[in-house]
Amino acid sequence: MKLLPILLALVLAPVLAFPAETPAGATPKPAPKPAPKPPAKKPTPKPRAKPVPSRKDMAIKEVATYDKDKDGKISNLEAMALNQAFKANPDSFFYLLDENENKFLDSAELAKVPLPKPAKKK
């Protein structure tokens, strides 16, 4: 019984070791080419983030809300309403525009505020 695996190994070893022979004139078939890879998709770019407004931009936007006639200038009545709002809410961003730090926006300080241009009429 111990001889049977050895005999099988001796008989099958030459068959497994040497592949089947091809005829003398025949050339072996080339291996098929692998399938082409699909083109790589370009990654879609992420949309750009909107710039975060600075505090000064927020102060200018807040002042622009007091420009009732939308002429791009702060008139005397609008300046009075703006200063009343500044006194009522000292935590607003108006302090960024108050250069002399007297908690009052005078006409010279309001003139320096770059308000949005008025829309052109057709």
For residue 2, CA distances in Å to 7, 14, 105 come to 9, 21, 110
Q: Phi and psi for 33 in degrees, rounded to 5?
A: -70, 145
The larger pLDDT score, comparing residue 23 to residue 88, is at 88
CB 107 within 8 A of CB 97: no
CB 66 within 8 A of CB 78: yes
Q: Which pLDDT value is given to residue 82?
A: 92
- pLDDT tens-place string over residues 76-112: 999 999 999 999 997 888 889 889 888 888 989 998 9
- pLDDT tens-place string over residues 38-75: 888 888 888 888 889 898 999 999 999 999 888 888 99
Provide the strand spans (E) within 35-85: none
CB 100 within 8 A of CB 66: no
CB 29 within 8 A of CB 60: no
The CB density around residue 9, as the number of other CB atoms within 10 Å, is 10
Q: Is the pTM of this model over 0.85?
A: no
Q: Which pLDDT value is given to residue 6?
A: 78
